[in-house]
Structure 1
Amino acid sequence: MSTTSALGYRDDHLHLLGCAAARRSVDVSAATSIEELLATVRQAVRRRSAAALAARRQGGAVSAGDASHSWLRVWGYDDALLDERRHPTVAELDSVAAGYPAVLHHITGHVAVVNTAAGRALGLASGDVLVERHDVLAAVPRPDRAATVASVTDVLTELATAGISACTDATHTNDLAALELLAEAAAGAPSVDVTAMVGADRLDSLGDLTFGMTVPGPSAVSDEVGVRIGHAKVMPPHDDESAIAEMVATARACRFPVAIHAMDIDTLQASLDALEAHPPILDTARSAGSERIEPDRIEPDRIEHCALALPEQLDRIARLGVAVVTQPSFVTRREQKYRDQLSVTEQSWLWPLASLLRRGIRVTLSSDAPTVPPDPSEWIEAATSRTLAPAERIDSQTALRLCQVL
């Protein structure tokens, strides 16, 4: 984290390693059908095969020393926006990429389709559609550290060019090793202040480091550049919302505020129950000798996304003093999906903004990149001119304030 930061925009929820990985992937985000998606992958396979053949003819090797080059990484599809309204199948992915282990990542990063070759390499009987199986996908070969660091530095440089001078990496798989890598990358783009969350189940990796401290970058570059340790990220298992309370309790034991991923009403309810059952623990070092800690001196817990929320849940968020970090672009980019899948009443509860602010809730806008581009002008446009649940629109000056560095 840089010691000084020029006034600019802040992207308070993105995924830097995910952005770097998306840059290295076959991009199918523009595909509107599975047929179009498969055609894009087929073309990429042909280009790769032609490059490998040319290298062999010249007596060289395409992938010497880096197993990641033998895999095909594809990114960016959204089943809800494809004509077929479904995930591609393993057989379909096999039909265009049978010669390579291939992983097709959903644009959100929470689902992946692996073809038969990739599935077997990962210890599965065949290919599969993997939901929140980061434990399995962690075995996919990755570029070496130097290449990854350079790619993340490029991402940070592009953020700076877009006027973003601070960002928060909200990746739930972050541990100390990930923070050290991000700190090394940040040393190459010191104009962007980087905060990184740590997975609530990975806090032990920090050792003596704790919330608010800085993981420094390479001292040879600068002792003043690194990554600030942010909230403990709570990613609820897709099949077990009861685990939220346990993860919040773990974070409290380590004296961390939490940031909980909540995209639906049930998950939000379980999150608020957990926050109520495990209130924040004041930092004894700050409170020693003081009879009272002012609320604005305590970093609030966060709800990430708050995509769907009942009015009474918003009241409860306000009472608990929880902040909301949200992504208004989703309501415009996925408008047709929401109109197709949600009732009119549910649509009125979708991606609240004005309702949060009326209750005095602290709100920050963000991108969730690489799912949505880190473009503050898009967030502001979505927040001010949304046609779905227009009662949640806010004015442009308020939207600007919600994504500026304070």
Structure 2
Amino acid sequence: MLIRDVEIEGRGRVDVRVEEGRIAAIGRRLAGHAQVEGGGAALLPGLHDHHIHLMALAAESASVRVGPAEVRGRDELAKILRDGAPGEWVRAVGYHESVAGELDRWTLDVLVPDRPVRVQHRSGAMWILNSAALRTAGLESTDGRLWREDGRLRTLLAPVPLDLTGLGRRAAALGVTGLTNADPHPADGLAQTLSVLPQRLVVMGVDPPVKLILDDPTLPTPADLAATVVGVRPRPVAVHCATRVQLLVTLLALEEAGPVEGDRIEHGSVIPAEALPRLRRLGVTVVTQPHFPAERAEAYATEVHPDDRPHLYRCRSLTEAGVPVAAGTDAPYGTHDPWSVMRAAVARDVRERLTPRAALGLFLGSPHRPERPRRVAVGSPADLCLLHVPLQEALDALTADTVRAAYVHGRLITEPAPDHEERRERAARPGLPQALRGHRPMA
């Protein structure tokens, strides 16, 4: 494949030849017939989402959303959960206590007495089942609140329909050519199940790194965690750190076990300033979610301790301290759109905001080593994102509307779409949804 007249960062406007899934040549006026005319638009490495939960995201098509953005109050929650025929399962996701308070089996029985219901907390760590659902699962002796029991529920409940085809298509339209599935205990055969996706995949636990989950009520000692880390060496670890104490225990454990290349902190939800030198010394990469302070602002304002709020989901301060940083959407527990994450990173307060170029870089790291930036260069894999516009225009907008095509191993994975000018003309026509009419022009 010959891609004619594209802008590559640091090279200007050039042609790119792809052979056998890799970039074979870059230069001006390369010989041959062009299969793709770039027209001066930017050609980037494809975006890689470094932390996502693919099975949960694929199951959303068979679920109803009951988070703070969709539901307000007990009555609205009851109405959504009661929709459908009596006896049919209801699978609800995204719940947070700000909607209608704490849930348990008896609360759900009052709201929905005539069908089995299971509700997933927004954190993804807990399911709440009503009595009808617990009877089906053979778990009637519990209060219905099941903490980190996904593996067990998979064996007790009927499979959920998965829209993996739609997931892959939507990710491709965003310019995403790689996905890292971050489930801590992947089901048997998960890698094979996910292989239908067109993106390049990293499945934690099957591929390196090994995901380790920490919870404050069952937090190991640093010595115990270090022993666990030593037990999986030489493979790197990706440690889930959602609180200050989880981070501290992890850093002490990594110091005792000894870090290896590829070790990661997942989320880094609370990173106090005094931890920055230690993170740098260990060489660990923080894979964070800079969009959460915006998406969850209302909850964080009341639930996060005031001492922790200045340290939430650091970005700029990490990079200035010499700590490698990458990002994942954490979808479906956050937006699945990396461009939205980038905009959130740029809109942070002055201590943590990134430049648009740095925000884009959060998703340009190598699949197994997020801290290593990928470049469009001879010999590199042809996992590419072709835009409609030059790079500076794309950085000014940071929106998926600039994505024209995505390629994995040199193969087109996006569906044909209107060209950029046609998209802008459509957005300007009267009668279209407000979200489209008000879209910021690219030029």
Under a length normalisation based on structure 1, what TM-score does the superposition of the two structures give?
0.73
Answer yes or no: is the 8 Å Cα contact 2:78–2:112 preserved in 1: no
Range with bigger deviation, 317-326 or 26-35: 26-35
Range with bigger deviation, 15-24 or 115-124: 115-124
| Other structure's SS at 2:139 match | coil
The equivalent residue for 1:232 is 210
Answer yes or no: is the 8 Å Cα contact 1:265–1:310 preserved in 2: yes
The equivalent residue for 2:184 is 172
| Other structure's SS at 1:312 match | helix
Matched, 1:142 2:158: yes
Higher helix share: 1
Alignment partners' CA distance in 2, 1:319 and 1:108 = 30
Q: Deviations over 1:337-383 (max 9, x none)?
A: 22223454422111111110011111112210001122122111111
Matched, 1:72 2:90: yes
> Deviation at 1:8?
1.9
Q: Deviations over 1:167-222 (max 9, x none)?
A: 10000121542222222x23xx2xx1111101xxxxxxx6xxxxxxxxxxxxxxxx
| Other structure's SS at 2:171 match | helix
> Deviation at 1:12?
0.5
Alignment partners' CA distance in 1, 2:259 and 2:138 = 40
Alignment partners' CA distance in 2, 1:129 and 1:400 = 39
| Other structure's SS at 1:174 match | coil
Greater Cα radius of gyration, structure 1 or 2: 2
Answer yes or no: is the 8 Å Cα contact 2:229–2:257 preserved in 1: no
Alignment partners' CA distance in 1, 2:221 and 2:292 = 27
The equivalent residue for 1:48 is 85
Matched, 1:402 2:362: yes
| Other structure's SS at 1:392 match | coil
Q: Mark the CA change 1:39 to 1:75 in structure 2 (over 3 Å): closer, same or farther.
A: same
Alignment partners' CA distance in 1, 2:21 and 2:110 = 52
The equivalent residue for 2:114 is 99
Q: Mark the CA change 1:133 to 1:339 in structure 2 (over 3 Å): closer, same or farther.
A: same
Amino acid at match of 1:361: V
Higher strand share: 2
Q: CA RMSD in A?
A: 2.5
> Deviation at 1:260?
0.4
Amino acid at match of 1:22: E
> Deviation at 1:71?
3.1
The equivalent residue for 1:320 is 282
> Deviation at 1:302?
0.3
The equivalent residue for 1:117 is 132
Alignment partners' CA distance in 1, 2:313 and 2:185 = 25
Answer yes or no: is the 8 Å Cα contact 2:259–2:282 preserved in 1: no
Post-superposition, which runs of at least 4 consecutive aligned residues in structure 1 deviate over 6 A?
Answer: none
The equivalent residue for 1:294 is none
Give structure 1 stretches of 5+ with no counterpart. Answer: 53-69, 199-205, 207-228, 282-298
Identity %, equivalent residues: 28
Alignment partners' CA distance in 2, 1:194 and 1:277 = 31
Under a length normalisation based on structure 2, what TM-score does the superposition of the two structures give?
0.67
Which residue, 350, 353, 367 being the options, matches 2:315? 353
> Deviation at 1:87?
2.3
Counterparts of 1:147-162 in structure 2, within 5 Å, are 148=162, 151-162=163-174
| Other structure's SS at 2:166 match | helix
